[in-house]
Structure 1
């Protein structure tokens, strides 16, 4: 089998065309993770809140009152070379949320029809856990992002596909 033809390439990504004429985007070695941190609601037994990470979106640089507009998502991150998706999820949960956790898998999905990137989804119940201050990675991106707790149903209204997929899968696994 011949490798797909490279149409355009930078040090960060490649655009390829398959032998059947399909073009797709390939982010060099950067599959990703999404982590849903949940906690039981004390005032509503059997219900959960989820940690939402409000962060900028690279394709929408809208400013509101001099600040970039933020978009809701779970804790996310790129899988570093030599790291497993699970290790990345644990690292990112601490880096962005301050939580030291063990994760449980919610499966994975292909990010889009014109990309070969896979997003691995995880969750952890952090009910009663007091987080450390998140160390973050020092980037401007993370410095303007913020964490908020919302009822689990909030995920249904998010535009980010990981939120909607995560909501469906969390419904299947949470008691």
Structure 2
């Protein structure tokens, strides 16, 4: 039986080559989650808002006024060993935003042809729920990230593929 050859590995990623010669990237935990938190806002013309997580992008470390440029995405994270996608989604929401929620599935998508990663998408309506203080995971990456509530339509203008997929799936669910 042919197996994939490991070319390079770090704590977070491994580059592999298949017996047919394809190189691909495998993240620690392999698969990931993207979670959209929505809340109803009856005091403005915007009916729903979405929590956007502003994160640094490893391939663009541009600084503006001494601060790293941040990029919008939903709450994201990798699955830990033995963890189901739903468990990872619940854990990441609590870790990054402080909300204890049940999550509902939005399906999944293949992250790219150069990875073996599947991203499982979830959402939760957090209208009226007060979050705990988000614990973060202790990494520098999370320490400079920040959460912002934005109008739901903001998702349609994000470059991150999960935002665009989530926009269309959530729009149909919430009739936005």
* TM-score normalised by structure 1 residue count: 0.91
Aligned to 1:102, what secondary structure does the other structure show? coil
1:5-16 equivalences under 5 Å are 5-6=5-6, 8-12=7-11, 13-16=13-16
Q: Deviations over 1:89-115 (max 9, x none)?
A: 111111111111000000111111111
Give, in whole Å, the separation in 2 of the partners of 1:115 and 1:44: 41
CA change 1:29–1:134 in 2 (3 A) is closer
Partner residue in 1 for 2:144: 144
1:170 CA displacement: 0.7
Shift of 1:131: 1.0
CA distance in 2, matches of 1:75, 1:116: 20
User: In 1, distance between residues paired with 2:165 and 2:37?
Assistant: 15
The number of residue pairs the alignment matches comes to 174
Assess if the C-alpha contact under 8 Å between 2:30 and 2:78 holds in 1: yes
Shift, 1:44, TM fit: 5.6
Written as runs of structure 1 = structure 2, the 5 A alignment for 1:121-136 is 121-136=121-136
C-alpha RMSD of matched pairs (Å): 1.8
Cα distance in 2 for partners of 1:22, 1:11 equals 19
Matches within 5 A, 1:81-100: 81-100=81-100
1:158 aligns with 2:142: no
Where in structure 1 are there 5+ consecutive unaligned residues? none
1:104-163 per-residue CA deviation (whole Å, 9 max, x = no partner) reads 000111111111011111000001111111111222211111111111110111111111
2:90 and 2:29 mapped to 1: Cα distance?
19
1:41, distance to aligned residue in structure 2 (A): 2.1
Equivalent residue number for residue 34 of structure 1: 34
Cα distance between partner residues in 2 of 1:119 and 1:60 = 22
